[in-house]
Amino acid sequence: MVFDWKDFDDWTERYNERTNPEAIAAFSSVILFYGGIGVLVRRGLVDIGLVYELMATSIKGFWGRYEPIIKGDREFFKNPQMWGDIENLYKMIIKIDENPESIQIMRNYFQQLSQTVIPSSHTLFFTST
């Protein structure tokens, strides 16, 4: 499915439950998938190296294309952490691109985190400033 929009307002007019339920359902499936992968990595249940090998290109492409929509959702819903696991996943992928040795640092970090209770709003060390 191809999504075409000018800005967040245009997106919300074109793709919502009333005007285009099939499109918004498709988008929701994808964003929830990437969000789920982000949660699994954050909790140490899926190795970041494996995600990098299998999905780095698609994660970077998704974030690059839909970052304005995600940030628009955050502002609209007044929830600055909304879809944070996707953004963190993207930032981890970029960090690995810049320094492949960072995979082991991340693995160690997530292994330690997986042994503790992790709140769903945990933003790791990849939050934007």
| Residue at 53 is within a domain | yes
Q: Rounded to an integer, what distance in angstroms lies between the CA atom of residue 55 and that of residue 43?
A: 18
What Rg, from alpha-carbon coordinates, does the chain have?
A: 15
| Residue at 22 is within a domain | yes
Residues of the chain with pLDDT under 50: 125-129
pLDDT computed for residue 90 by the predictor: 97
| Residue at 31 is within a domain | yes
| Residue at 2 is within a domain | no
| Residue at 102 is within a domain | yes
Domain limits at 89?
8-114
| Residue at 61 is within a domain | yes
pLDDT computed for residue 120 by the predictor: 53
| Residue in this structure with the two tokens 């299998």, named with its chain if needed | 54
pLDDT computed for residue 129 by the predictor: 41
Give how many domains the chain has, as a whole number.
1
| Residue at 58 is within a domain | yes
